[in-house]
Every structure is written in C-alpha cells, then in structure tokens.
Amino acid sequence: MAFGRVLVAVFSFSLIFAGCSGDIKNEIARRLPGVREAEKPFESGGGKRAMEQAPVPAGWVERPFIEENPAPELREGEKRRGYMIFSRPLPEPVYPNTLPMGYERIDYVTGFSTPGELTALSFSVLPSEKLEDFRVRLSPLKSGDSEIPASCLSSGLVTYWNDRFFTHRENKFYRRVPKLIENVDIHTSPAGECQRYVVLVRVPPEAKAGLYEGDVILTHKGYGKAVIIPVLFRVLDFKLEKDPDVWMGDMSAQTVTDMIIDAYCPFPEGSSEAAGWIKEAEENNERAMREYGFDGFPMIRVIYDADRNRLEVTEDRREIVREKAAAGARGPVPFAMWGAWKTILRDVATGSPEGSDLKSWDYDPRAKTYKEYPVTEEYYREVTRLVKELDGRLTAEGFPERVYAGGDEIDVRATEFGVKFYEALKKAGVRAWATRGMHYSDRGGAYNNVIDVFCSYAFDTPYAQASGDREHEHWVYHNDVAYQQRRPRIMNRGGRMTFGYGFWRSGYGALFPWAAWQLIRRNNPFNYLARGTPPEGNHFDRDGSLIMALHWENIREGRVDAKYIYTLQKAIAQREGCGDADCRRLVEEGKALLRETWEMIPRSWEYLDMNIWPSREFNARRWRMAQIISALLKYPPVNPNAPVPSVMVADVEDKHPEITSSPPEYFKGADSRPFELSRDNRETEEQVSVGWRSR
C-alpha cells in the first residue's frame, strides 16, 4: 500500500515542480502545504441542500456494494475534526460504505489543465461521526498577479440514488449508487457514509501559465474550526486543439420543452414565468453541451404526415438544426425514420397510418409481412417517392447536408426487408446510414452496398478497415457503456476510455453517445426505480441550471484526452525535419509515446470492466503528453500546413489478437450474455451471471 502512495506522490510532485527553476523547487518543497485549520467563517445557517428522494417501494431488497477494504486507522487530527479526507481518480466510484486505503489519504488537491478548458478535481470525506451542516467553500486560485476567480470554480456533492440492480432471476433488487453531482451549499451525512465532492475549474482562455494556489474550506456544525485543504493547480502554456476529422453528435435531439413539461419547471405550463424558465434552461443546456464535447448535429426524427401524404421535419427540430448550424456544427444531419417506416407501411397496406405497433423482429421473411401488414413492392416505391420529395424540399430551403436511416437496429430476421428498404432510399438519390455495424449484424455483409454510414453500438470493425474504408463512414453510439448505470466503475472508467483513447484506437469518425444527455420520465424524473426507461442522464434543477450525471464528467474527460492526443500529433507533424537536434529528439519522443499508448490499448469491441488501464493511468499519460507538447511548441513549426492524421502511429497492424468481453453471438441477436463481475458489480460473494442490460 505504501507503493501506491509513492506513485501518487511522484505524480503530484511532477505536476507541482514542472517548469520551475531549482530555487523555486526548493522553496516550494520547504513550504509544501498540508491540511491545516483556521478560524471558522461566519455562517448564516441556511443554504441549498440535496434533493429529497422517493421512498423505496415495498418488497424491494437492497444489494449494497461489497466493501472488502479494512477500516482505516484515523489520525488524531481526523478524530478531532470528525472525518478523514481522501481522494481517488474520478472514474473510481465512492460508495456510501466505501473504506479508503491509507495511500488514498491526501494533504492537498492537485490538478492541471490548459487555458480555455474545463477540468474536474475530486476529494472525499469519510465521517467518523455525524457531519451536520457540512459546507464546502472555494477560494480563488492565484499565481503571482494572475488569478482564476472564484466565479470560475464550482463544487458539487455526488449524491447516492437507489437504482435497480436486477439479475436475470429477480427484478426487485436495488443499490445505492453515486449518480448525480448536485450543487449544494450545505449537507448533513451520518457517521460512516462517505461524501464525495467534485470541484470544476473553468480555466479562462486568457489565463497565464503557472502554478496556481488556493484553498478548499470545510466546516461543519460539530467542529469549531475551519479545515483547509490546499489546492495546487497548474495551468499549462498551450491550448488544446480538436481533431477536425472527428465529431460528436447527439442521439436524442430533445428540446428543453420536451424534457421539462410536468417534470422540472416550477411554474404553470403556458405561463410567462414558465416561458422565461424554459428559455434560461435552454441556454444552460446548449452551453453545457458545447462544453462537454458536442460539436456535431443531433439525430433528427422524420415523421410521416398521412393527411398530406408526405414526410416532414417538424419546426422545433428544424430550429434545433438551424441553431446547431449557426454554432458551427460538424458532420451531416442524421435523419431517422424510426417511426415513419411503420406508419407508411400501415398506410400503404390499409389506407390508415394507425394500427398494430411493429418491432423489427416481427418480420416474417417467408410471408413477407410485418404482422398483418404485407410488405409489397408498392411500399418500397412509396418510400422512394416520399424521401425524394422531402429531400428536394430541404435542398431548395438550403438545409444542411443530411443522411437518412430506416428502422432502428433492424433485426437479423428482417435482413431482406432492411436491405430492400435501404435500396429504396438509394433510389431516392440520398445517402443512407444505419444503426448497425459492418460486422456481426447480418452474417453476410448484405447491407454493404446500400449503406453509406455504419453507426454501430460497438467498435466491431477493426481499425485498419474502419480508417481505410473509402466507401463507408463508421460511427459509434456505444450502447454497452450507456447501459452500465448500475455499475458506476464501468460507466465512468469505461466511458472515459471509450470516448477518448479507445475512440482514437478504433479509427471511427464520429461518436453518437446513447449515455443519454437527458432521458426523462415525465412527472417522475428522479425515480430510478420506476418502471420503463429510467432517467439515466443529466437533470434540470428547479432554477433551470443543470445537474450533471457523474458519468458525463468522465465522458468529457475522455474527449479532453483525445484533444491532448491530437495536439501532440499536430505539434509533431509541424516539426518533422526540424534542423535542431533537441527538437528532433522531442519529435521522436512524441512518436514513441504515441506508439506506446497505441500498443497499451487492446483492440476491443467495448471497454467495460476489462481491457482498461488503471484509473490513475489516464491523467499520468495525459501529463506525459503535455510535457512533450509544451517542449515542442517552443520551437517554430517547420511545416505549418502539414496534414495531421487522426492516428500518427506507423505500422498499426495489431500485434496481439482481438480481445473482447462479448461473444460474437451477442452481435447476432442474442438476448443476454455473461459478465465476469468485479467486486462492485457482484450480487453476492460468488461470481454470478447477469443479463447484459441493467434493466
């Protein structure tokens, strides 16, 4: 355990001392801060608290996290103030009954970032007694005359929520899991229940490079002094850049109005107060989506207007596209006919769009029917006509580039129908995309000639094929990560790997997260035990601000990892052939680090509980890249217009077999698959098999 603490200390000292002269290093070493106490500031007694939660329904049984660590031995100061302060990497969950190891104890909070970026820091407290009216305050961060003001800092409490913890046998188990980051002023917690806080630092774009210092100030009613945790935060001397060839869209395309009516808005629907609240909520939502990496168009549903016998894009969806286009959204607009294909079929077959609901697996290939509805050549001709007419109108209106999709995840049993539907789209003269992968989806590549964009729920296409494919684009909407809310370690660590290093390793061109940004049950947005699709993403607070889900902070950090990779690759590309020997050495060091990083990432369909680095490796590797970037940028570019590939690694041939935690049958329609569970996923002390979804 001492070795783990040494590793943490080595990284922290590297962060603190980077770029410092010997004298400055010695001075900082002499006054290296530690947790201290001070006079308690005046407290008014009021403030915002965490939301109340619905009671657990009768008949439900808790399956708590199985903690195997021994209880830590508290120091005298910790006993006196009533808690131990510790920290672990953001992807690692802190449960109510977590027991930290000794090496996780901290004397200060550290972090680093670049100008213009958002970065998450984290610390936790393990109470040895009830902490009544616990408060967290943040001071500005200062470096000489430079300052990151307190307005650029915010702290949030990670709150625990009862979430369904089903197995394939039972459906009334639940677990308290860390889910949301609530903006609270004051909180009371019982003895033994860990409390985690996330500190967000929004580094101003004009911030000067240097080591910034500040304080996290902790108080609670049962202790007469304030406890101060020093913050050491380094702002690097360069700005990050994004790969212009990849982008991230949104699979839900919900408007704020969709999400908040009867759910969040505290004012009567239709009132002027509600209109003002919605406007502010929309602005907060759009700002957050940009900040968390969304830079592409969202998926837009196309509806069938039976009265006018044509396809349509509703005005609210058109407004979304206009706003995204004005903000510089990248990629085509993905149109989805996920409901329209059914209403068109019913209308052609019976003269009415109403009737039985249809699922993609309802197709009978022998009778060529969907339930009672025959699928005729007239139907496919009508699809061609309707799509061609809609696309012509949109072209005349100057609508952005678009691609069209048929049904969602068309079942293998409906391959014949799916291929003919996409042939109908191609006859309309449009580009087509589908929620399916090139592999493990139809056993024969039947769609390859009728689809332009494969949008898979896993990295099912090898890097060389995905990156070298000149006939198709490859996108991903990674369901496997999105449905791990009951397993926070997978959702957080797997999310960061999938959206950062794993995505870089995949060769895919776009991300469409189905780790829902907002997925709301009207009238019941915070009840995770309710039937149907639970709210798995972010929420709106009563004041219209966003309550972020913890997994989105990890996904955002993954997108930032990708920026470090691209910024390093660009710095290398622009200095290839530099005449300075030290510059050439740095170029080779950068290439070697990229190669090492590539080889450390197993080729995998999904990054869940296996095939992922230790959580501390993410920031450690990011820091190594930052040091080389900073050193390279001190030399002027030799090739300022040099092309920058998305992957700058020579000889990308895999040197090890593909590793996956899913059998191929999963991609061929299997309903469930086994999991090898780590200790925070187990139902009992024994390894058990569970259904792949957390539903």
Closest CA to 112 of 84, 133, 143, 136: 143
300: in domain: no
pLDDT of residue 207: 97
Closest CA to 95 of 646, 493, 690, 680: 680
Judge whether 294 and 265 are in contact, CB under 8 Å: no
535: in domain: no
Judge whether 177 and 163 are in contact, CB under 8 Å: yes
Least confident of 252-256, 492-496, 626-630: 252-256
634: in domain: no
Closest CA to 539 of 159, 273, 122: 159
pLDDT of residue 688: 32
Closest CA to 53 of 162, 158, 134, 186: 162
pLDDT of residue 654: 55
Per-residue model confidence as pLDDT tens digits over 134-169: 999 999 999 999 999 999 999 999 999 998 886 545
Residue 293 has pLDDT above 80, yes or no: yes
| Mean per-residue pLDDT, 282-286 | 89
pTM for this model (two decimals): 0.90
| Mean per-residue pLDDT, 256-273 | 79
Residue 456 has pLDDT above 80, yes or no: yes
pLDDT of residue 553: 95
- Which H/E stretch holds residue 474? strand 473-476
| Mean per-residue pLDDT, 536-556 | 90
- End-to-end alpha-carbon separation of the chain, Å? 37
| Mean per-residue pLDDT, 409-422 | 92
Closest CA to 211 of 294, 135, 144, 161: 144
Residue 283 has pLDDT above 70, yes or no: yes
C-alpha pair distances (Å), 122 with each of 92, 197, 358: 11, 6, 47
Residue 693 has pLDDT above 70, yes or no: no
pLDDT of residue 558: 96
| Mean per-residue pLDDT, 462-477 | 91
Residue 538 has pLDDT above 90, yes or no: no
Output helix, strand, coil percentages for the chain, rounded to the nearest 5: 30, 20, 50
Per-residue model confidence as pLDDT tens digits over 480-518: 777 777 788 888 999 999 999 999 999 999 998 876 777
Residue 629 has pLDDT above 50, yes or no: yes
pLDDT confidence band for 76 (50 / 70 / 90): very high
pLDDT of residue 678: 41
Residue 674 has pLDDT above 70, yes or no: no
545: in domain: no
Q: Are strands 118-127 and 195-202 parallel, antiparallel or unpaired?
A: antiparallel
Question: For residues 322 and 316, what is the distance between their CA atoms, to the nearest angstrom?
Answer: 10
| 651 burial level (CB within 10 Å; 0-12, 13-18, 19+) | exposed
pLDDT of residue 119: 96
Least confident of 85-99, 103-117, 432-446, 577-591: 432-446
Residue 691 has pLDDT above 80, yes or no: no
16: in domain: yes
596: in domain: no
Judge whether 88 and 99 are in contact, CB under 8 Å: no
Residue 231: give the domain boundaries.
2-235
Per-residue model confidence as pLDDT tens digits over 310-367: 999 999 899 989 999 999 999 999 999 999 999 999 999 999 999 988 988 899 999 9
pLDDT of residue 18: 53
Question: For residues 492 and 254, what is the distance between their CA atoms, to the nearest angstrom?
Answer: 23
Which residue would you say has higher pLDDT here, 429 or 485? 429
| Mean per-residue pLDDT, 642-661 | 69
Judge whether 515 and 555 are in contact, CB under 8 Å: yes
- Which H/E stretch holds residue 631? helix 615-632
pLDDT confidence band for 653 (50 / 70 / 90): low
Query: In the chain, how many domains are there?
Result: 1
- Which H/E stretch holds residue 501? helix 501-506
CA atoms within a 13 Å half-sphere pointing along the CA-CB vector of 148:
35
pLDDT of residue 687: 29
Q: List beta partners, residue 172.
A: none
Q: Are strands 510-511 and 473-476 parallel, antiparallel or unpaired?
A: parallel
pLDDT of residue 255: 67
591: in domain: no
| Mean per-residue pLDDT, 66-82 | 95
pLDDT of residue 673: 31
Question: For residues 217 and 85, what is the distance between their CA atoms, to the nearest angstrom?
Answer: 12
225: in domain: yes
**Most confident range, picked from 170-174, 178-182, 262-266, 691-695:** 178-182
pLDDT of residue 262: 65
CATH number at residue 142: 2.60.40.10
Question: For residues 625 and 592, what is the distance between their CA atoms, to the nearest angstrom?
Answer: 11
pLDDT of residue 33: 75
**Most confident range, picked from 6-15, 473-482, 532-541:** 473-482
Question: For residues 582 and 591, what is the distance between their CA atoms, to the nearest angstrom?
Answer: 14
Residue 266 has pLDDT above 90, yes or no: no
